[in-house]
Each structure stands twice: as structure tokens, then as C-alpha cells.
Amino acid sequence: MESKYNKNSLAVIIPMYNEEIVAAKCIDEVQKVLKKIKQKTILIVINDGSTDATEKIVLEKEKRYRKRLVVVTYKKNKGYGGASEEGIKKAIKLDYEWCLHMDSDLTNDPKFIPQFIKAIIPDVDCIKASRYIQNGKVINVPFFRRFISFVGNYAASFLFNIGIKDCTNGFRMVRLEKLKGIHFKENNFSIILEELYYLKKRHAHFKEIPNVLTARTNSLSHFTYKPKIFFDYFKYVIKSALLF
């Protein structure tokens, strides 16, 4: 059956919570890249209950970029997971075929967006950026964070058993048809693993492309290493291992 979606059309989803320092630059940099892509594209910014000037900045950008930028805003903070789900719903409603999740701090470099599009083949449903394959690397990230990520991903890769080495990287592109009807439970960064679990459950096919991850330099990360985060991550690793 032929998909109703525009072929290889792409919605870039970026949640923002109190990102007044980087919001304008992030939108401008992504738009520079999207402008050069021949496929139909849009940037969806989720203003996740910001209490600073983020809302004002992104709404001004929406006026400038018109149909190339859509802003979804609400007053109560839903967290990274909740904001990501809102972006997915909006992209599906607008009939895009793919969604690409990015962070607002430009640690996910927009220059990699065309690489995701080049990696599209008919039988692939999820393309993950990977720090742990050839030509992938991490720059300026503290050793403790790199160590935790490497060990965690080694275990997750083995137990998910879907052929990818960087399970926790949030820089990923997903065929929206595979996400339709899913109600995500996680409102934090563990939605990345929850999404992977549902994709495996729906027999999705995966692919990785090399990625260079950098650390924030001019703003604070909203990710914290709390016991609940580790539990939320690895419960989906275990659930995934028990699927087949």
C-alpha cells in the first residue's frame, strides 16, 4: 500500500526549555541546512513551558521563516519526553514521512542532517547517529560522562540486539509510520530507549551513521545523572531483550 506521506519528507523536531541563549542561533543554523535540501522539510520547535525569553525568540523566528518553521508552545513544562512526543504528533498531523530529533544546543551539528537523508533506503525505519562506529567520536565531553555512556551503550547494544552500537544517542531519524498510535510514558530522556523498544516491537529495521558529539559550551544541560534516569533507561533494555 502506498504511503500517504510526501516521499522522504522530513520534519526536524527540537524541544526547547529556557534556551534563550542558543534558541535563535539554533533555528538559524538548522534553517541554513534545510534550505539546501531538495526534499520537503520543516523545522518544528517545541517551546516546552519556558519561563525565560525563549518563547518570544522562537515566535519571532516563526514570523521570519513562515512555512519553514512551526512553533508548538505551552505553559507547563512536559520534559524532553513530553516535548518530543508533541513534536512527533505534529509531524504526523502535517503528513511528513520522517522525523529527525535534535537538541537545541547544537551539540548535534546540523551539518549531519544531509547524511541522514542520504542513508535512507526502503527497508530502513530508524537511522541513528553513532559515536561508536568508524568515524564517530566524542569531543570535549568529560571522561566520567564518556565512560558511563560507553559502558551503558555496550550493554544496551548487546541486549537490544538490533544491530546498532549507540542506543542512547538522541540524534536520530525515524519513519513516522512506525510511531503512529504510540503513547509514550516517559517525560525525560529515557524516551529515546522507550522509542527504540517500540520500534523493535514493531519489527523496524535500523541503520547507523557516524556522528561527532560535542559538549555544551555556552549553556547548561538539562540532563542529570540520577538513579531514576538509569532505571528508566535500562528497564527498556531489559524489556527489549525479552521481546523475542
CA 119 to chain CA centroid, nearest Å? 16
Identify which of 140, 165, 117 has the alpha carbon closest to the alpha carbon of residue 221.
Answer: 140
Residue 240 dihedral angles phi and psi, to the nearest 5°? -65, -40
Cell of 40: 520537503
Provide the pLDDT for residue 138.
80
Give the Cα separation of 186 and 183 in Å (integer): 9
Question: Do 26 and 14 meet the contact criterion of CB atoms below 8 Å apart?
Answer: yes
Question: Do 176 and 98 meet the contact criterion of CB atoms below 8 Å apart?
Answer: yes
Give the Cα separation of 44 and 137 in Å (integer): 27
Count helices and strands in the chain by DSSP H and E runs: 7, 9
Provide the pLDDT for residue 2.
43
Cell of 228: 531514576
CATH architecture label of 10-241: Alpha-Beta Complex (3.90)
Q: How would you write the pLDDT of the chain (244 residues) with one tens digit per residue?
A: 345 556 889 999 999 999 999 999 999 999 999 999 999 999 999 999 999 999 999 999 999 999 999 999 999 999 999 999 999 999 999 999 999 999 999 999 999 999 999 999 999 999 999 999 998 888 867 766 777 777 787 888 888 999 999 999 999 999 999 999 999 999 999 999 999 999 999 999 999 999 887 865 554 555 555 667 667 788 998 998 888 6
Provide the pLDDT for residue 63.
97
Cell of 16: 526547547
Cα–Cα distances (Å) from 11 to 31, 40, 91, 101, 203, in that order, read: 12, 9, 6, 9, 23
Cα–Cα distances (Å) from 183 to 75, 81, 88, 152, 198, in that order, read: 21, 11, 11, 25, 10
Provide the pLDDT for residue 16.
98
Residue boundaries of the structural domains of the chain:
10-241
> Bridge-partner residues for 44, per DSSP?
13, 70
What ranges in the chain are assigned the alpha helix state H?
23-34, 54-65, 79-93, 113-118, 143-160, 191-201, 227-241
Q: What is the CA radius of gyration of the chain?
A: 17
Provide the pLDDT for residue 31.
98
Question: Do 98 and 34 meet the contact criterion of CB atoms below 8 Å apart?
Answer: no
